[in-house]
Amino acid sequence: MLVTHDQEEALRVADRLGVMLNGRIEQLGSPEDVNQRPRTAFISEFVGAVNRIQAVCDGGEVAVLGRRVAISNMDRAALGSAALEALIRPEDLQLQAGENGGALVTAMVLRGVATSVSVSLCDASMRVDMPPA
């Protein structure tokens, strides 16, 4: 067993990890599970970076940024139809040229294997991670 506060180390060397909050285990699983299927908003934000984007729940899916995506970590039956925030990882977003413009690039930061692009779209700021090229 290894206890660490270094997230990169935990994700890199562990075959199973636990995320704790206030002395309680929030989620236990493989690094891939915890990173790609977080059970709570806390874990989503704690393990990696996320964008909080306004969305609407409808029929077990979320409408966000003009697309419909499956809900990964909630009891779909309990949601009904409601406005909420989607937590989306920067690496799960893509920038594409649009016919009417749309997003405004406000900053770019080279992070080695990725470039983080900060954009402003629909009165929201978000981060998109993409290959440096």
pLDDT at 77: 45
Residue-level length of the chain:
133
pLDDT at 31: 92
Distance CA 82, CA 8 (A): 35
pLDDT at 80: 58
Burial of 69-92, coded b for 16+ CB within 10 Å and e otherwise, reads eeeeeeeeeebeeeeeebbbbbee
pLDDT at 3: 85
Does residue 53 contact residue 65 with C-beta atoms inside 8 Å? yes
pLDDT at 55: 87
Q: The tokens of 72 are what?
A: 């990964």
Q: What is the pLDDT along the chain (133 residues), one digit of tens a residue?
A: 888 888 888 888 999 999 999 999 999 999 999 988 888 889 988 988 899 988 888 767 888 888 888 776 665 445 556 678 888 999 999 888 777 667 889 999 998 889 999 999 877 899 999 998 7
